[in-house]
Structure 1
Amino acid sequence: MKKLTMSFLNAEGKRANLTLNAAKQDLTGEVVKPVMGQICELALFQKNNQPLYVQPESAKYTETIITKLF
């Protein structure tokens, strides 16, 4: 299963990631980017009294392939 990783810039200009393990597998940038903007506007997540997600930077699907050796 693929994970959706959304990368944002925080209040200090550093990257902060939000990863969803159970995201829909066929989302597009046109769908994800506005949602990332809404996450920033809501400012629900904070670290040291600073917003954790201030500006959307990128989004990607990641897939881990596990190869069992024995």
Structure 2
Amino acid sequence: MVHVSVVPDRCIGAAQCVLTAPDVFDQDEDGFVEVLDAQPEGVQGDKARMAAKICPSQSIVVRDDAEGPE
């Protein structure tokens, strides 16, 4: 399991996270990222990691549970 958080002030609304991991991320009414599942497991955790890698604004933070709290 991983822990997912976002830095909302960085988000530019590109929606790459939603396209990559729609069970983990969504967009609010203004088009900015929202976390639907802050602790995805298995495949969803892998998709969250990929979304963090491809996020053009680097708004997504994914940490393994072993790394501790933010």
Do both share a fold (TM > 0.5)? no
Aligning the two structures, in what range does the TM-score lie when normalised by the shorter sequence? under 0.3
State the TM-score, normalized to the length of structure 1: 0.28
State the TM-score, normalized to the length of structure 2: 0.28
Q: Is the helix fraction higher in 1 or 2?
A: 2
